[in-house]
Amino acid sequence: MPTLSVLVLNYNYRRYLRSCVESILSQTFQDFELIIIDDRSTDDSMELINELKQLDPRIVVAAHEKNQGFSRSLIEGTEELSRGEFLSVISADDRAARNDAFATQVDLLREHPSAAFCFSGFDLFSETSSQLVQSFPAPVVADSREAMRLLLDNQARPAHSGVMIRGTAYRASGGYRRDLRMAIDLAMWLALAVEGGFVYTPEPLYGYRVHDKQMSAALAGVRRSTNEVREVFRVACEHAERRGCGTGGKDATAFLKHFADYITHEARNRGRRVAATRLLAVAMESPLEAATSRRLWLSALQTAIGPTAYDGLHRLLVRS
């Protein structure tokens, strides 16, 4: 039984897959299994996957005969195929940025046995740029109550790729929700927070890639994802309140904080069109709260004039 099960989900990401797998196989922590699920790719991903499988006996391949979608593949990997004490999911277009990523997270979870999951800073990168993203500048250990507060305030912002989950906490939380398609990772962090909180390191252990395919998907799923996030926060706050985490009534505020920051991110990294579409969806979902949210208005201003002009205006106002 391996200590760690690493799940790589692939759909038409052949051009990124080798980099992802090689970053995993080069880890200093070696006691893991690598499960690659190909969701019926239409490129030649399977040719490369079969080649990679010959490199290491720890690689397990699941090739779908029919496309099942991200959520179903994710649940299959974590609940039907994984055997490890800890679980981690890395998208085929992302990568481990350091070869001690697994070792760092396993050590942290063993040092803090009540923590349900561990995440880190990460590099947000494209073909032409790289940006360090950190939720906090220093390490953080948060119990259930504090973890919920930080997640609802959007201070804790785990990227899906590279979060390491304690298997017992995953099962206690009920696992990934079957009724979601877009906000499945956010729901997972909120559910895990109630089960034991998290431990965080600011070191950029993983790289999260930004590319055109994500932008197309973002535009196509804006309305649905916005609706799902609103419902996820409502359910999570009710659940946390029942478990004594004291978050009742904070779901609407959390929803607006989440998307105010996310719209800013999209304006800078995915383009103003995606950000504007998201802004409209948020306003339609929660019009009264949106109209009175200062953070959302600042995000709208950045979307309207562009990040460069916004930064210039901000510097001018600070100097004055």
- Mind listing the pLDDT tens digit for each residue in 186-208? 999 999 999 999 999 999 999 99
Q: Which of 285, 287, 300, 294 is nearest to 225 (CA)?
A: 285
> Residue 118 — φ and ψ, nearest 5°?
-135, 130
Regarding predicted confidence, which is higher, 5 or 293? 5
Catalogue all structural domains in the chain, each as residue range(s) with its CATH number: 4-210 (3.90.550.10), 216-313 (no CATH)
Say yes or no to pLDDT of 214 above 60. Answer: no
Say yes or no to pLDDT of 218 above 90. Answer: no
| CA distances, 310 to each of 134, 138, 193, 267 (Å) | 22, 28, 35, 11
What would the pLDDT profile of 298-320 be if each residue is shown by its tens digit?
888 888 888 788 788 778 776 76
Q: Sign of dihedral through CA atoms 211, 213, 216, 222?
A: negative
Model pLDDT, residue 219: 52
Element (H, E) at 281: helix 272-285
What would the pLDDT profile of 95-135 be if each residue is shown by its tens digit?
999 999 999 999 999 999 999 999 999 999 988 889 899 99
Mean pLDDT of all residues in the chain?
90
> Residue 113 — φ and ψ, nearest 5°?
-65, -15
Please state which of the ranges 136-145, 252-261, 263-272, 289-298 shows the lowest mean pLDDT: 263-272
Assess contact for 83 and 5: CB atoms under 8 A.
yes
- Residue 161: pLDDT band (50, 70, 90) is very high
Partners of 89 in the β-ladder: 7
Say yes or no to pLDDT of 81 above 60. Answer: yes
Please state which of the ranges 155-159, 226-230, 289-293 shows the lowest mean pLDDT: 289-293
Residue 20 CB neighbour total at 10 angstroms: 24
d(CA 98, CA 197): 25
Residue with the two structure tokens 């804006």? 222
d(CA 299, CA 261): 7
Assess contact for 126 and 210: CB atoms under 8 A.
yes
SS3 state at 194: helix
d(CA 257, CA 261): 6
- Residue 216: pLDDT band (50, 70, 90) is very low
